[in-house]
Copies of this chain bind each other. A is one copy, B any other.
């Protein structure tokens, strides 16, 4: 076999504010690879199938010391299939997930790049992209955060911001399973419809409806799952019930403005005995996570949604849209089908 194109997304410049398509990350279609002859040096040759474009990837663009390097491929959580292997953990045809998959069509991965390797079983034949969404890091984040920090009691009131995103949409469904009343916000009417379809009791578009008014009417809030930070966190704190829990999952409203919005209502933490839990998802996917979610997803009882971008040419665009809230659901870049 001969040289073929190995398309890649390349980090091109540090964004001051929002990442810009065609500037922050660019597509390089000139690189080539020989799939038969490329030497593995003990590693594996893989073909990328699906890539996850997550809000947190913005932090990898923020400083030279940590994260993306100018002129090098960007990376993030992804699924690939093994084409050749000199690593005993992986054999040809294995599908696996790692959290630092290079944004290129084909990669030779050394042992140390397989750090958090997950070989995927997929007994229900779900689309591979679910394993970077509801069955991947975002799903695990919702699952762990809810399980460890919600201390949810039936009849309590949850407020979740960015409730249509991959994390928020699972949080809504976990809370409904636990018998809570769910208030959920998002930034478009399409997202509102999606949240309604998940069983949320009160949904609203925070761009056209006043969050404080909704919470004053529908609260007080026992659990606030925070995906956005900023003003929304302040408003939730002002409408928190006594002994409320804030699950501080993410603060996307501050990612592109240097976290400019402070928390004015911090004093409510003492006044109302609020507990705030900042946490990071682990990279241990427990069996019960899959065993609980996979059949529910297969039956359609637990739902998810995706916003699919086709090809590595769209990584820059997808990154920008995720940060600007211009996506409808979990952002996935579909790179290739399983068969080659």
A44 at the interface (CB under 8 A from B): no
Check B267 against A266 for contact (C-beta < 8 Å).
no
Contact of A264 among B262, B267, B269, B278 (CB under 8 A): B262
Q: Which residues of B contact A262 (CB under 8 A)?
A: 262-264, 266
Q: Which residues of B contact A233 (CB under 8 A)?
A: 266
A254 at the interface (CB under 8 A from B): yes
Check B277 against A275 for contact (C-beta < 8 Å).
yes
Check A280 against B273 for contact (C-beta < 8 Å).
yes
Q: Which residues of B contact A339 (CB under 8 A)?
A: none
Chain A interface main SS type: mixed
Binds B, one of A79-87, A126-134, A245-253: A245-253
CA distance A276 to B275 in the complex (A): 6
Contact of A263 among B266, B270, B272 (CB under 8 A): B266
A274 at the interface (CB under 8 A from B): yes
Check B278 against A229 for contact (C-beta < 8 Å).
no
Q: Which residues of B contact A271 (CB under 8 A)?
A: 278
CA distance A270 to B253 in the complex (A): 13
Min Cβ gap A249→B in Å is 7
A147 at the interface (CB under 8 A from B): no
Chain A 302-332, CB within 8 Å of chain B: the 1/0 string?
A: 0000000000000000000000000000000
Q: Name A's B-contacting residues (CB within 8 A).
A: 229, 233, 248-251, 254, 259, 262-264, 266-280
Q: Which 3 A-B pairs have the closest CB atoms?
A: A262-B262, A269-B278, A263-B266
